[in-house]
């Protein structure tokens, strides 16, 4: 379940998609979304940016509801009516990754970078954030195209560019919730995979400065899961569920955590609870990418096998 740095495994992990989504959409938030009548900002309660109705609706579809099919429909509209919003292209790249459409990943990664660079002159904060995201996505595309070994040097070069632009965004507004959501996810991903790294700074960034809250606490749950601190991981997964109770990906996350707790404590009751959460995630499988559905089904089968073995 853990990924390895550098960029090879870390970026081409299942969590890259989340980070990517997060990055761009960066993202992710609230309870039952309704397509807004005015352009709204899913990250900021104050000093909101005009992100665009369709882009925001796509963002909420993915990150609040885990509904990738609805998001695709909104994004098609966003690319037409909100063509200067880099978040829309970043989400398209993220969906391409989830669907293993590598040609589309390259196309929308480049477009994210192009649109973000144009945005710098009118909105330096978000322009720098999404220039970082564009470089991140291009790094992922390099690894997919060239393989982990051959693509890693280019990806690492891109990673340096990512942090250069994130630093520039931080110099503009260090407490910006969109910036801190993205940077918190990225720093935490690296911290849990690098020896001697301290993930607590990234966790504090997500806890204190990132928004929306439901996505910030979900990121912390991922981090504690990978650090094998399962009680804390479960606490934050539960907090995410309270905010996004219809999102199948959060039930999947909770199921993973419970399964690891059950294995550690040799607790069949926790295993059964894990299966219930896998099943809850699968009740909405029609709205998830096919590969993700297969992964959830595989892990559910393994949990059932663990129970059968424990009864022998």
Which tens digits make up the pLDDT trace of 162-199? 999 999 999 999 999 999 999 999 999 889 888 778 89
CA distance 58 to 244: 15
Query: What domain count does the chain have?
Result: 1
- Contact, 27 vs 44, CB < 8 A? no
pLDDT at 153 over 90: no
Q: Please state the pTM of the whole predicted model.
A: 0.85
Q: Is 145 exposed, middle or buried (0-12, 13-18, 19+ CB in 10 A)?
A: middle
pLDDT at 22 over 70: no
CA 159 to chain centre: 17
In this prediction, residues 40-62 reach a mean pLDDT of: 89
Contacts of 222 (CB under 8 A, 6+ apart): 15, 18, 188, 233, 253
Confidence of residue 155 (pLDDT cuts 50, 70, 90): confident
CA distance 21 to 145: 20
Tokens representing residue 218 in the block? 């979900």
Confidence of residue 11 (pLDDT cuts 50, 70, 90): very low
- The Cα-based distances of 264 to 11, 51, 220, 257 in angstroms read 28, 44, 21, 11
pLDDT at 10 over 80: no
Look at the block and give the residue holding tokens 């005015």: 38
Pick from 121, 132, 35, 141: nearest CA to 87 = 132
11-25, 47-61, 99-113: least confident range: 11-25
Q: Is residue 163 part of a domain?
A: yes
Q: Is residue 263 part of a domain?
A: no
pLDDT at 142 over 90: no
Q: Is residue 282 part of a domain?
A: no
For 90-139, the pLDDT digits (tens) are: 999 999 998 889 999 999 999 999 999 999 999 999 999 999 999 999 99
Residue 312 vs residue 177, higher pLDDT: 177
For 276-291, the pLDDT digits (tens) are: 999 999 999 999 999 9
Across the chain, mean pLDDT equals: 86
Task: Say how many residues make up the chain.
Answer: 312
Residue 100, SS3?
Answer: coil
Pick from 52, 50, 88: nearest CA to 71 = 88
What's residue 164's pLDDT?
Answer: 97
In this prediction, residues 200-211 reach a mean pLDDT of: 96
Q: Write out the residue range of the structural domain in which residue 90 sits.
A: 7-174
In this prediction, residues 245-252 reach a mean pLDDT of: 97
């Amino acid at each position: 379940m853990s990924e390895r740095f550098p960029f090879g495994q870390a970026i081409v992990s299942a969590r890259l998609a989340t980070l990517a989504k997060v990055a761009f959409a960066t993202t992710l938030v609230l309870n039952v979304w309704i397509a807004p009548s005015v352009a709204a900002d899913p990250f900021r309660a104050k000093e909101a940016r005009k992100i665009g109705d369709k882009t925001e609706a796509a963002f909420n579809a993915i990150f609040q509801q885990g509904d990738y099919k609805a998001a695709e429909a909104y994004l098609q509209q966003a690319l037409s009516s909100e063509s200067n919003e880099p978040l829309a292209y970043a989400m398209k790249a993220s969906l391409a990754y989830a669907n293993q459409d590598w040609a589309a990943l390259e196309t929308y990664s480049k477009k994210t970078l192009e649109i973000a660079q144009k945005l710098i002159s009118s909105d330096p904060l978000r322009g720098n954030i999404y220039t970082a995201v564009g470089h991140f996505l291009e790094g992922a595309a390099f690894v997919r195209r060239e393989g982990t070994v051959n693509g890693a040097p280019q990806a690492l070069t891109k990673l340096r560019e990512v942090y250069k632009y994130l630093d520039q965004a931080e110099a503009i507004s260090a407490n910006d919730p969109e910036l801190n959501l993205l940077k918190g996810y990225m720093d935490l991903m690296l911290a849990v995979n690098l020896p001697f790294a301290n993930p607590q700074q990234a966790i504090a960034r997500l806890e204190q400065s990132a928004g929306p809250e439901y996505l910030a606490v979900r990121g912390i749950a991922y981090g504690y899961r990978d650090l094998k601190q399962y009680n804390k991981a479960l606490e934050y997964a539960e907090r995410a569920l309270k905010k996004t109770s219809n999102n199948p990906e959060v039930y999947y996350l909770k199921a993973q955590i419970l399964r690891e707790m059950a294995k550690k404590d040799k607790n069949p009751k926790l295993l059964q609870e894990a299966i219930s959460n896998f099943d809850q995630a699968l009740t909405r499988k029609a709205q998830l990418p096919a590969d993700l559905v297969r992964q959830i089904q595989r892990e559910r089968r393994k949990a059932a096998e663990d129970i059968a073995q424990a009864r022998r």
